[in-house]
Amino acid sequence: MKYLSLKRTLNSCVSLDQLKRIHALCVTLGFLHTQNLQQSLSCKLLQSYKNVGKTEQAQRVFDQINDPDIVSWTCLLNLYLHSGLPSKSLSAFSHCLHLGLRPDSFLMVAALSSCGQCKDLVRGRVVHGMLLRNGEIRRFQSAKSLNDLSL
């Protein structure tokens, strides 16, 4: 099975059993051992586990990524954010910063949305300041996230 068809198959996963079989196939074929494929496929696995309601399985997938990049961290933050766990999303964001990674606008917007869901105005202002300082503010996404904070 080729990488792209495997990724497409993940999009159509509707059951945990089916997802576990595809995940095992990814491991068997070595797709999770090649750095560039690993991060892309791992993000897709994170999303798929979220879709079947298994955030703890998704966290295990993330934990197995060798040297996760900003895209992987963004996938993790969005996983928690869209699973109704914004405080876990903010914890992951803090951990990412602690590791010295430079967040991009997508990661910061996920963090800002998490602040909005947690009603954490102080952290929200800090993240918004980071967006402004880095010059990576995306008008529509950050405006929605800021609106979430004001509720």
Q: Region of 38 please: left (phi>0), alpha (psi -120 to 50) or beta.
A: alpha
Q: Write down the pLDDT at residue 140.
A: 44
Q: Are residues 40 and 92 in the same domain?
A: no
Q: Are residues 94 and 121 in the same domain?
A: yes
Q: Write down the pLDDT at residue 5.
A: 79
Residue 40 has pLDDT above 80, yes or no: no
pLDDT, the chain, mean = 85
Domain that residue 119 falls in: 68-151
Domains contained in the chain, number: 2
Tallying the residues shown for the chain, one arrives at 151
Q: Cβ of 100: how many Cβ atoms within 10 Å?
A: 6
Considering only residues 151 and 7, tell me which one the structure prediction assigns the higher pLDDT: 7
Q: Are residues 41 and 73 in the same domain?
A: no
Q: Are residues 74 and 4 in the same domain?
A: no
| pLDDT tens figures, 48-85 | 999 899 999 999 999 988 889 999 999 999 999 999 99
What letter does residue 77 receive in the DSSP assignment? H
Q: Residue 2: which of 32, 44, 38, 31 has the closest Cα?
A: 31
What is the percent of the chain with per-residue pLDDT over 90, rounded to a whole number?
A: 49
Are 9 and 29 contacting, i.e. CB atoms less than 8 angstroms apart?
no
